Structure 1
């Protein structure tokens, strides 16, 4: 059962965003100073034009008009140059902050408890690392600088209007109440709406990904209609969330548009009355009206980017929410005394009060091969993850050398026991890079030995550039069987003493899987191997077989012993072979 990862509160987002800006206080101050200077230079135009109008009305010389026109041109050129420098600094600052934010997020994701990743599934986490990161990227790079510039420009323009004509500028307040009420109404609803939208798309993406990844299973079990209904339900939720945010914008945008168009008309009408009564000059009215026209652009950009800011802060809350995931273990610093694995009265629940494992106890001797078999949903994979230290137990304990697995540092844990599942990934990079993930300092000879151990050396040597061949997305194509061999070669390089194989070869065709398992025999020697499999030849070759049913081990013994008992395992063996079960030593 997957669960949504936590979302940071608005207060946490403000605190962490504030911390980011404090860390970049100096470049931020320099950038804002340039924008203030550019905005101030832009304010000279209406003021000089107002002086020209008054000069023409009251009488002036051509020289004075030429001087004012020259000053106007100089201010325009200076503003253009300063604006260019300010925008450049803004983009550099945005890229710097975003790079820091992205690196911090990746570090948080890689530090998530393994049990949390298992429970959350791929949909929500992938949505946060793609869609949410992209949204934050746009916000940090463009929205934040634009909003800051628009605010500064708006404040300075209003101040200039007051200076140019205090009485005339009173008309500007007409749009303030409407803008305040509309913006407050919008902001009170936008956060929850955008969080709903992001979560809905995360769920939809997860469902679609699961459907694509499990296409063969869906087709085999005739579950297409079930998956279609699930996708339609997720689409309905995403549509409802999208419609909600669209409704908020459809109310707020027209309100904002009206609120900053009204002051232009109001100032013109009010200024005309003041001129008629002798309380203002035509030049003052001209300057203030031009300021009101000029202020439309920054206010319009402020409104537009404020909506983008809501999307960005919602995504930022989801990104910062990763840091709210509690740790599921605390390293004790103890060192295992031996390599034996033991489970004592282990219980585990994905949902509180609903155990899926019920008091399982199991002792594994170093070098032993144990096969776990049983019906789907019996708890085999869950038990395997507990034995690999992925999940902490709800009750009981799993030890290695007398020390609880969850008390080990993760780096030490992976030197003790490693889980190998049917899921594998080939990263973008060279073949050498992919292998060196498990052993960064390993020389090529060691990499080649690992490939040889999993019977992959021949086809790797046949690649266009051998170990230097670029693989992964966009690189040299790698088939499923080859990708699995790369994953297993990494295990050889990591060299743990215990392996938990959770149907590790189930995605390969039977002949390839059998061939790979034979090639692994020498590699697995002198290691403890726990194999979770649905191909019973794995159980046949194991030292002992554990039959897991309903979250309990119902049978435990060698293949021959369990066949002789004639219980659940014997029935599975007979069903798999299509003939009555007999122990290997039977005539």
Structure 2
């Protein structure tokens, strides 16, 4: 399974900077409020130092200084609240934009990318990584910003009190620098491995739940249990590694940032005895150093969350890189063909799901506009793969598929999906009303258009009885497999593409119901190009031409009558199937 890429550290920093700078006014207000709150906080220690010094000579100004200190504390509280609110508001706006961009990116991912990556990795990035990043943006970033500004301003105040009083603060710098460098060199990779292990665990559990019937029928519970245990063990190991990083880093830092307080008291006391600084300066400096403990503590506390958030952002941005790398991502653009059917050409196309194991070999095929083409062949012949290449789901390993002379890889994804639609035997009914499941294909469709689409696929009888506003999907009214396929075909009619690729789109229905549906669709499909991949050969009987696939190659091409008369592969398939039908 191919894992989706992860953005580099430089790309993450650049993207975070761009997101923040999109709102310069809000950022300026937040920074200004943080600076004001930090500046007001600096006045208290200086006044307390003066108060201590005054107490040695009398207490004439004590009441006035005390009132000023109280007023400053109240002012600081108001500024801190305003600063945190402004930062949180900016953070929510940035987070909302990031989520919107991520959703746009995810829904524009080509299906082939999603299939190769697996649902576990993508679901984990969509849920867990977004939640982790949300915590970082809402809490870690604003608190870190406040702490950093407080540290800088407090150090500046220390210089003003007495340049010599800055020296005790430098005692902790070598320890903090060494510990932080050690931690940062390991944290990002550790948290990326942790997220990847969690994605594997999610993928394994989802696969087991989705295939529960198969697991039970083939008695695979033991194997699946072993898989889950291995995934849990790996996730546990990665969690232990990151926990080890924290248990080494944080205690060292906790010890290191207490050292300056002790050093300041000793060093300041010696300077006072020597007459180089006043008692007020020593008191203020000690209080400033004490005041540094809280922001440094918060900075160190959030360092871990910022690393986790950075790893999550790298995984989220990696999805965008994969979408951009496909050449068909991005927002829908106007169709390049004007909405009319175009010739499709498959030229020397080879394709493999695994390197070195081609399932299609140098396939050449020309499909005329408005043609009804049936693709048949034994299981594993490459029929579905060819259909997915024609629909632009996969890109050829070699060769090219063109629409009206334009390679499909150069057609914007939104336009391509309006030009060519693929319907397979596996269809999803989304949780919502029946109307919602239809209007997702055409948001502007009214009840009359919805009813016409359902009638065209022979589904109005049950759909009308059920009601367009009835809730369907998981946990709601369950649709049968054949009803789900009819719903998918109704969506197809509402999308109104000029080319349809039907990959056994009626396989869940009985032969009689499928035949009746195909006759109902015949009028709707008039003038469109239809590529029908089918195992029921009456579809081939009605087609303009039949393509017979064998061993990943085009074995025969012709009309039904020509191929039967030729006595080749198709004739054998027809005689076998037709004989079976007669026997039935």
User: Would you say same fold, with TM above 0.5?
Assistant: yes
Q: Which residue pairs with 2:441 in the alignment?
A: 438
User: Could you tell me how far apart the structure 1 residues matched to 2:489 and 2:274 are?
Assistant: 90
- 1:162 equivalent in alignment to 2:159: yes
Extract unaligned runs of 5+ from structure 2: none
Extract unaligned runs of 5+ from structure 1: none
Q: Which residue pairs with 2:489 in the alignment?
A: 488
Q: Which residue pairs with 1:86 in the alignment?
A: 83
Equivalent pair of 1:337/1:401 in contact (CA under 8 Å) = no
TM alignment of 1:167-178, pairs within 5 A: 167-178=164-175
TM alignment of 1:410-559, pairs within 5 A: 410-427=413-430, 429-463=432-466, 466-469=467-470, 476-479=476-479, 481=481, 482-504=483-505, 508=508, 511=510, 515=513, 518-525=516-523, 526=526, 527-532=528-533, 536=536, 543=543, 548-554=549-555, 558=560
Q: Give the secondary structure class of the aligned counterpart of 1:43.
A: helix
- 1:264 equivalent in alignment to 2:261: yes
User: Could you tell me how far apart the structure 1 residues matched to 2:563 and 2:580 are?
Assistant: 8
**1:94 Cα deviation after fit:** 0.5
User: Could you tell me how far apart the structure 2 residues matched to 1:175 and 1:583 are?
Assistant: 86
TM alignment of 1:69-80, pairs within 5 A: 69-80=66-77
Q: Give the secondary structure class of the aligned counterpart of 2:468.
A: helix
| Greater mean deviation of Cα atoms: 416-425 or 220-229 | 220-229
Size of the aligned set, in residue pairs, is 571
- Residues 4 and 433 (structure 1), Cα distance of their counterparts in 2 relative to 1, 3 Å cut: same
- Residues 468 and 539 (structure 1), Cα distance of their counterparts in 2 relative to 1, 3 Å cut: closer
- Residues 276 and 210 (structure 1), Cα distance of their counterparts in 2 relative to 1, 3 Å cut: same
Equivalent pair of 1:115/1:328 in contact (CA under 8 Å) = no
Q: Give the secondary structure class of the aligned counterpart of 1:582.
A: helix
Equivalent pair of 2:471/2:477 in contact (CA under 8 Å) = no
**1:556 Cα deviation after fit:** 6.0
Q: Which residue pairs with 1:255 in the alignment?
A: 252
TM alignment of 1:234-383, pairs within 5 A: 234-325=231-322, 326-328=325-327, 333=336, 338-364=341-367, 366-368=370-372, 370-375=374-379, 377-383=380-386
User: Could you tell me how far apart the structure 2 residues matched to 1:404 and 1:585 are?
Assistant: 44
User: Could you tell me how far apart the structure 1 residues matched to 2:580 and 2:112 are?
Assistant: 39
| Greater mean deviation of Cα atoms: 159-168 or 328-337 | 328-337
- Residues 304 and 456 (structure 1), Cα distance of their counterparts in 2 relative to 1, 3 Å cut: farther
- 1:28 equivalent in alignment to 2:27: yes
**1:105 Cα deviation after fit:** 2.1
> Under a length normalisation based on structure 1, what TM-score does the superposition of the two structures give?
0.86
> Under a length normalisation based on structure 2, what TM-score does the superposition of the two structures give?
0.86
User: Could you tell me how far apart the structure 1 residues matched to 2:581 and 2:425 are?
Assistant: 30
- Residues 401 and 281 (structure 1), Cα distance of their counterparts in 2 relative to 1, 3 Å cut: closer
Q: Deviations over 1:254-297 (max 9, x none)?
A: 11111111222222233333344444444433332222222211
- Residues 216 and 342 (structure 1), Cα distance of their counterparts in 2 relative to 1, 3 Å cut: farther
**1:371 Cα deviation after fit:** 4.5
- Residues 532 and 231 (structure 1), Cα distance of their counterparts in 2 relative to 1, 3 Å cut: farther
**1:565 Cα deviation after fit:** 5.2
- Residues 496 and 222 (structure 1), Cα distance of their counterparts in 2 relative to 1, 3 Å cut: farther
User: Could you tell me how far apart the structure 2 residues matched to 1:531 and 1:155 are?
Assistant: 70
**1:503 Cα deviation after fit:** 4.1
Equivalent pair of 1:499/1:528 in contact (CA under 8 Å) = yes
Equivalent pair of 2:341/2:529 in contact (CA under 8 Å) = no
User: Could you tell me how far apart the structure 2 residues matched to 1:550 and 1:79 are?
Assistant: 77
